[in-house]
Chains A and B, each alone.
Chain A
Amino acid sequence: MTTWVDWNIFAYWSDYDIFWPAGCGRIFFQGFLYLTNNYTILVFYVIIHKILSIEREGIMLFRYTGIAVILVWGIVFPVILLRLQKMISPHNPTRAKTLTYECGLDTQGDTWIRFKISYFMYALIFVVFDVETVFLYPWAVLFQKLGLFGIIEMIIFMAILIVGFAYAWKEGALQWM
């Protein structure tokens, strides 16, 4: 019981072949099929059976279940809170309440205007570095295996980007105006 791996035997999917024919799930499913006579369920049944026959570690579907579930919870949880608020809070929007709040003064002019260029300049340079990041991560994982070849190639790759960065710096793209 010292490590997680020792008890992970419960999660091996190959074990389910033992339980599958005797398990109540099959009976449940067959009963369901008998009741509904729905072919889509049969298709799902076949797909799940196919998935089961592959080893668990190889299936992306299983490895990313948690991500899908947390995505759903992340939406459901705030919605529950908002529903709760709707149940117990008053709702009486008057004109004064729904005015734009700008320190008590009436709002002047349009808000959705053409905005300052500086933000866009930073975003442009960011795109360059973001793409670099995507290439750098696989390189970093394999760094120790690649040896000297890897580091020389990376220096060349980085030098090209640094030249671009230096050019942007010289041209004043990094200067806040």
Chain B
Amino acid sequence: MDIFIVWVEIFRHWLTVATGIPILAEIIVKAALTLGVIIFVLLNLIVLVWLERKLSAFFQMRRGPNRLGPAGFFQFPVDIVKMLGKEDIVPANADRPVFLIASICAFLTAIMAWAVIPLGRGLILEDLSIGIFYFIAIGSTGTIAFIMAGFSSNNKYALLGGMRAAAQMISYEIPMVFSLLGVIMITGSLTLSKIVEGQKSIWFIIPQILAFLCYFISSIAETNRGPFDMTEGEQELVGGYFLEYSGIRYALFMVAEYTHLVAVSAIAALVFLGGWNAPFGLTFIPGFIWMMLKIYFMIFLFMWVRWTFPRIRIDHLMHFGWKVLIPVSLINIVLTGIGIFVFRAITG
């Protein structure tokens, strides 16, 4: 993938000379790269939706989609085409402007997290010095889109779904943020590429196994996936906050959900699973491939959990978040601090 970065730099250089305005060249290059990121995410989505449906079928001993294309692979693209042809219904009682903006907001907050996620060495839109902090900040703004959708629909199920999403996402944001803190204490940097470079000798999942478990559980709740999907809860809330949406607006919510899932998996792979570092010295396989393998491993774990455990009650969920995960993640911070001191005392 190095050749790709070289071509981008040559293109940027050419544009700068041609236009004479570096900021314009920068904006054009970044716009092209961002479009590339969006297309990458959407291509991922085709695989993901297919994988989710096939895996759920496998766990439930069904066949799953098997009509369009090999093993039903083209089901999702065709679904998107179908959704494009559906009517965009806005309920008469809804708060119209908020209702219309909410779906765009959901997509926006999901895609914005991808600005700082590297997929290989140098394959990143903006390697910010506050990389992981930016990811957390953008991740938490996703709550606003859900509460906008839930509140503006003027529907009791949607309102409940939106409220639950807000409560659940703010509650589980704290253990998620605290669990990433241990890694930052070890590396001393918020830049994601530096965190990955710090894992050349040992992946952080080994010294930070407690943090990884906390992160994994809280990111399931952050992405509103089963067994923590009371926000959607088909049996009680029909569809949750996007109950009143139809057509491509509904699809935008689904796209946002899966984009967020990939982003969360990518962060787990970068922070805990060594990013693009090859395990066992298998360096002949490019870092980009390793990164994708790790992301898909995390996604598989998420799907496995979703289709194995039954949905839990909201009071249990909140109690688990506040009374178990937060104390555990705080203990992890203290343990990491002591561990670093002991390690430095031994090694000198």
Binding site for B on A (CB under 8 A): 1-4, 7-8, 10-11, 13, 16, 19-20, 23-26, 28-29, 48, 51-52, 61-67, 69-75, 77-79, 81-82, 84-86, 88-93, 95, 97-103, 107, 111-112, 115-116, 118-119, 122-123, 125-126, 129-130, 133, 136-137, 140-145, 148, 151, 154-155, 158, 162, 165, 169, 174, 176
Given the known interface contacts A82-B88, A82-B249, A151-B341, the answer about A102 and B121 at a Cβ–Cβ threshold of 8 Å is: no
Contact at B23–A88, with CB atoms within 8 Å?
no
Given the known interface contacts A140-B181, A174-B318, the answer about A66 and B155 at a Cβ–Cβ threshold of 8 Å is: no
Tell me whether chain A's interface is mostly helix, strand or loop, or mixed.
helix
Contact at B9–A11, with CB atoms within 8 Å?
yes
Residues of B within 8 A of A65 (CB): 23, 26-27, 30, 126
Stretch of B102-110, B210-218, B261-269, B270-278 at the chain-chain interface? B102-110
Residue of B with least CB distance to A103: B238
Give complex CA distance A69, B93 in Å.
35
Binding site for A on B (CB under 8 A): 2-3, 5-6, 9-10, 12-13, 16-23, 26-27, 30-31, 33-35, 37-38, 83-93, 103-104, 107-109, 111-112, 114-115, 121-122, 125-126, 128, 133-134, 136, 151, 153-157, 159, 163, 166-167, 170-171, 173-174, 177-178, 181, 184-185, 188-190, 238, 243-244, 247-249, 251-252, 314-315, 318-319, 322-323, 326, 330, 333-334, 337, 340-341, 344
Residues of A within 8 A of B315 (CB): 176
Contact at A86–B103, with CB atoms within 8 Å?
no
The listed residue (B114, B190, B326, B341) touching A141 by CB distance below 8 A is: B190
Contact at A4–B18, with CB atoms within 8 Å?
no
Given the known interface contacts A65-B26, A78-B104, the answer about A2 and B20 at a Cβ–Cβ threshold of 8 Å is: no
**Least Cβ–Cβ distance between A107 and chain B, in angstroms:** 7
Contact at A141–B23, with CB atoms within 8 Å?
no
Residues of B within 8 A of A102 (CB): 155-157
Give complex CA distance A63, B121 in Å.
18
Given the known interface contacts A28-B20, A62-B26, A78-B252, the answer about A70 and B86 at a Cβ–Cβ threshold of 8 Å is: no
Residue of A with least CB distance to B28: A69
Contact at B155–A70, with CB atoms within 8 Å?
no
Give complex CA distance A70, B107 in Å.
11
Residue of B with least CB distance to A45: B21
